Amino acid sequence: MVSSLRGIAELAKARGTKTCVVVAAEDPEVLVAIDEAVTYGIARSILIGNLLKIEQAADIAGVDISRHTLVEEDNPSTAARRGVLMVSQGEAHLVMKGLVSTSDVLKAVLSKDGGLRTGRLLSHLSVFEMQENNRLVIFSDAAMNISPTLEEKAEITQNAIDVAHLLGITNPRVAVIAAIEYVNSDMPATIDASCISKMAERGQIKGGIVDGPLALDNAISLESARIKGIISPVAGRADILIMPDIEAGNVFYKTLVCMASGCCASVVVGAKAPVVLTSRADSRESKFYSLALGIALS
């Protein structure tokens, strides 16, 4: 079982070198991450973007650009579409976002023409280390599905469970998060959470132990769960946190990164290939581990 972000990089290494296409690659921090992945032996790279700006960014980053294949495309959203098309045509195994908006990349991925649709729901997930417990926790969705319906939450949950399996977490404990741990009809997230929990009991979601609603504290802290008297196979020991909507997911993500110096690996799953979406706020380490996660899953 993988229990650290370093372990994700080792898993990627064990899976062999993969070709990653970086779209709008004129970003020094992204170049550092892809260059490190090349050095670590997990990636070959294709950089699409404005070549002059890529060279300038490489100078700033201290990256030797001769180790990377370059493709000229000045317009960032066209670069996103070209990069996604290369993955859909089998020329690369995964795509990583550079200096282009998240929604431009996601729109290219969702395009019926040259995109990476599979018929499944695509969802964003992040993996972070709980250092005191020496284990990984996955949370979803911080960046793609804005206000998921009950059915979409079920698919987000299934996607996260499938990734947990690939990380060797065989029967992950899933907490469906709300503000409180009781069903309250004034809080729709609590109703969805209890339905997701029942759907898993009935086999509509497979491969994990799902419980909710749980509040964040009693999902991850055994002490909080004990104080509240919650009897649950998940409370206090969740491997996966399913967030009620993008606001909760994104605020949780940014809180970890900006206020708790957390390091996360993040990727969009459910498409034909992983899509690595990092945000400007992410550290270099987070960008590298996101790439490693994408490679491990591709």
Binding residues for ligand COD, rule: CB under 6 A, are 102-103, 106-107, 110, 121-122, 143-146, 250, 279
Q: Print the SS3 string covering 209-226.
A: EEEEEECHHHHHCHHHHH
CB of 246 vs ligand COD, minimal distance in Å: 6
Cβ–Cβ contacts within 10 Å for residue 174, how many? 30
CB of 110 vs ligand COD, minimal distance in Å: 4
Residue closer to ligand COD, measured from CB, 204 or 250? 250
The token duo for 173 is 């404990």
CB of 274 vs ligand COD, minimal distance in Å: 14
Residue closer to ligand COD, measured from CB, 17 or 102? 102
Residue closer to ligand COD, measured from CB, 29 or 211? 29
CB of 279 vs ligand COD, minimal distance in Å: 6
CB of 68 vs ligand COD, minimal distance in Å: 26
Q: Which residues have a Cβ under 8 Å from the Cβ of 293 and sit 6 or more positions away?
A: 8, 12, 127, 265, 266, 267, 274, 276
Residue closer to ligand COD, measured from CB, 68 or 124? 124
Residue closer to ligand COD, measured from CB, 122 or 235? 122
Residue closer to ligand COD, measured from CB, 206 or 280? 280
Q: Which of 15, 85, 8 is nearest to 43 (CA)?
A: 15
**Contact call for residues 22 and 288 (beta carbons, < 8 A):** no
CB of 268 vs ligand COD, minimal distance in Å: 8
Residue closer to ligand COD, measured from CB, 46 or 87? 87
**Whole-angstrom distance, CA of residue 258 vs CA of residue 281:** 7
Q: Which residues have a Cβ under 8 Å from the Cβ of 231 and sit 6 or more positions away?
A: none
CB of 124 vs ligand COD, minimal distance in Å: 8
Q: Print the SS3 string covering 111-166.
A: CCCCCCCCCCCCEEEEEEEEHHHCEEEEEECCCCCCCCCHHHHHHHHHHHHHHHHH
Angle between helices 28-40 and 51-61 (to 10 degrees): 70
**Contact call for residues 140 and 127 (beta carbons, < 8 A):** no
